[in-house]
Amino acid sequence: MKRVIERGPAPEPIGISVPRRDGIEKVTGAASFTTDLTLPGLAHARLLRSPYAHARIRSIDAEAARRHPGVIAVVTAADLPGVQLEYGHAVADHPLIATGKVRFAGEVVVGVVAEDAATADEALRLIEVDYDPLPYATTVEEALAPGAPVLHEKAGRQGAHRGFEEDITRDHPNVCSTFRQAWGEIEDAFTGAHLVLEGTWHYPMCYAFAMEPYTSVAEWKDGELTVWSSAQHPYMVRDDLAHVFHLPLSAVRVIVPYVGGGYGSKSYTKIEPLTAALALKAGRPVRLALNVDDAILTTRGDGATVQLRSAFDRDGRLLGRQATVRLDSGAYAENSPLVGRKAANRLGGPYRIPALEVTCQVVYTNTAPASSFRGFGAPQVVFAAESQMDEAAEALGLDPLEIRRRNLVERGERPWPKVRGLDAKLADDLALAAAELDWSTPPAPGVGRAVCVSASDAGSEPVTTATLRVHPDGSVTVLCGSTEIGQGSATALAQIAAGEMGVPLEKVRLVQSDTAAVTYDRSTGASRTTTLMGLAIRNAARDVKAQLLEWARESWAGEDAPEPVLEHAGIRVGDRLAGWGEVVRAWFAGDYGEAIGRGYLRKAGETAEMPPFWEVGCVGVEVRVDESTGEIHVEKLVTIGDVGCAVNPQLAEAQDVGAAIMGLGMAMREELIYEDGNLVNGNLYDYRVPRFTDLPELRTVLVERGDGVGVYGAKGGGEGALNPVASAIANAVRRATGARLREAPFTPERVWEALRERDAANGR
């Protein structure tokens, strides 16, 4: 790892105690709950899934299963009167269990609760379901074709937490939503262009492959619901549960332990309503734990087809872009409407474009539902946009780096109207990546290099709160709703609290993700946690220190008493520095009590403009291509982590590398494949993710210019490095072989076909 620091001396708080040291610290006991639950009477659930991609349910015969020894309850939609079966924060179209119709192979039809999982599995085999198969559409092209089967006869109700202001337009029965982004005179841009390029790119539907599949435990007691879940957004899940079961928010408690990875796939509500419904019918606590095969059928990333036209002048400057993006969102909306909106925003890229016209359709298909996924609409469109930048450079005889430099938005410049100015120096980031690749040194024959860049509007609505408690011994407890999903928030947020209060990290305890105990956070995602929750913790620290200053004035007031002065690590009274604990003890006149600070963040002040920050993705690759087999060997992968300030450098590096490797997997191998309406590779064996033996030489540069809105100038990281990887590899293959790749993943078969197309175009 290399670090480039251009922000001058570090602010005082970050130098206090341990927030700047390079070792990865884990805060011991950072959560007050455990996944090893021992609830009395805990029962286990298993699910019966549909074998049909699209079918009506004629009847369900579950009597034999209900009579099976050890079975506690068998639950279908008909067994849940009074329950609001459809949920969804963006569009309420997703039934917690099939309601008369199934829309993808793998949809849940029946749930069985038994004393143990083996008994539940036995009971599933006794259930008979009579289906009336319907025509199905497992691709966007099929779903939009004339006479296509209609998945949803009526539009779902729009949710209150969909994450955008505009109404969802449904201009086709199988179109969940349509978004448009436009400015400038698009026709004039193409009429006056020296060069017009157009093409179509395809990005695969992928699975996030978290090590921990979805798991949920639900318990009802005295009319209140408690759910333990592997969810990224506990407060969002709480809202959906309250809606489904007609409960006040105060009667729903969601607890999230440490989660074994999420990458967006555990955003929003998944199996929690079904688990709670099973527990309601069983009259006992119920645990529903999916395996990986089931998890793949629960959430995936959106596949995409991108048709892109770009206009350039003779000097390589972009004049306009026009695009149609179609996302394959599967059977239910989930979070794909917001993914579609972000994809429409991000197609312009980090470039100055006088005219733009983008339409993005989110399309229903008879496949597993798509939702949030690392990068959030950016990888799909960056693949097309950055590939076309290289095509333009080649057509105009320009260096690929130079054409980007001529078009990049500068720091402070607004990429489009009514958004925050860019908080990065992209041209400098590009130069750093090029230097790591030895760009000026010609590569050997058959070797290609490429550098690609993106700047995605990141960070969701900045609605966040935090509470900071100062105890009589000077230790600190921080309460926050952010979820630890492996990204290191339990460490970074504790470091921020330690830095702000001037206390050793060992004196800080972070409690997260229990809606009955910690404060509200809208979500854990969009690379927002260190930036936005960090600001809320900073505000809470300022609030409690202001209180402690007043307490010191009251406690040590006197005619000759010196005026207390607030310092970083305590209150100075004359020549003596009183620590925070001493101030608490003095005010309460004993070794008891505490001071409580509150931090609030909303769309106002420093976070009034959206996005709260821009997330930079800048990667470079060096590849070697074996033309006899079509195999691509990525030999070097460079990432530039433009994070403003790395609160914990090793965590920041790990996030950047992890994102790039995930992008490498989707570019080279990962793809969910449907045949005859069924997912044929939805398992650990057939769905291929990168292994250690697949990894290239990795080089990471952390760039710290202090230009973010967060504490110490921090801004989000952890997704950006994924976005340009596919385009960088495709561009490097072009430079190595002359073949252009337009469909990911770049399997040997697809590379070989591209090489044949190259030869045909050259008359060979």
User: CATH assignment of 416-459+611-764?
Assistant: 3.30.365.10
Bridge partners of residue 216, in order along the sequence:
229, 288
| Dihedrals phi, psi of 177, to nearest 5 degrees | -160, 155
Write the pLDDT tens digit of every residue in 407-439: 999 999 999 888 999 999 999 999 999 999 999
Q: Over 337-398, what HEC string results? A: HHHHHHHHHHCCCCECCCEEEEEEEEEECCCCCECCCCCCCHHHHHHHHHHHHHHHHHHHCC
13-30+461-606 placed in CATH 3.30.365.10: yes
Q: Which two tokens stand for residue 389?
A: 């930048």
329, pLDDT greater than 60: yes
Domain chopping of the chain, boundaries? 13-30+461-606, 43-136+209-296, 151-188+309-396+403-407, 416-459+611-764
Long-range contacts of 572-581 (CB under 8 A, 24+ apart): 578/552, 579/474, 580/470, 580/474, 580/476, 580/501, 580/503, 580/548, 581/470, 581/471, 581/472, 581/473, 581/474, 581/475
Residue 26 pLDDT grade (very low, low, confident, very high; cuts 50, 70, 90): very low
Structure confidence at residue 20 (pLDDT): 34
Classify 151-188+309-396+403-407 by CATH class. Answer: alpha beta
When pLDDT is cut at 50, 70 and 90, the band that residue 10 belongs to is low
Percent of the chain with pLDDT over 70: 95
8-state DSSP, 521 = B
Question: Per-residue pLDDT for 533 more than 50?
Answer: yes
Mean pLDDT to the nearest integer, 134-142: 98
Question: Strand 631-642 relative to strand 697-704: parallel, antiparallel, unpaired?
Answer: parallel
End-to-end CA distance of the chain: 45
Mean pLDDT check: name the lowest of 19-23, 113-117, 552-556, 598-602.
Answer: 19-23
Cα–Cα distance, 84 to 77 (Å, whole number):
10
Mean pLDDT of 139-167: 83
For 565-607, give the DSSP string: EEETTEEEETTEEE-HHHHHHHHHTSS---EEEEEEE-SSGGG
The mean pLDDT of 692-712, rounded to a whole number, is 95
57 close to 129: Cβ distance less than 8 angstroms = yes
Quote the mean pLDDT of the chain. Answer: 93
Give residue for tokens 């691709």. 139
What confidence score (pLDDT) does residue 19 get? 37
pLDDT in tens, 176-223: 999 999 999 999 999 999 999 999 999 999 999 998 999 999 999 999
Selection from 409, 436, 404, 430 nearest residue 420 by Cα: 409
Please, are residues 642 and 724 in contact by the beta-carbon 8 Å criterion? no
Judged against a pLDDT cut of 90, whether residue 611 lies above it is answered with yes
Distances (CA, A) of 360 to 78, 346, 529: 37, 11, 28
Q: Which two tokens stand for residue 540?
A: 């809470």
- Between CA 77 and CA 97 the distance in angstroms is 6
Class (C level, CATH) for 43-136+209-296: alpha beta
The stretch 664-670 carries a mean pLDDT of 97
- pLDDT, tens digit (0-9, with 9 covering 90-100), for 612-651: 999 999 999 999 999 999 999 999 999 999 999 999 999 9
- The whole-number average pLDDT for the span 668-675 is 97
Q: 13-30+461-606 with 416-459+611-764: one CATH topology?
A: yes
pLDDT at 562 over 80: yes
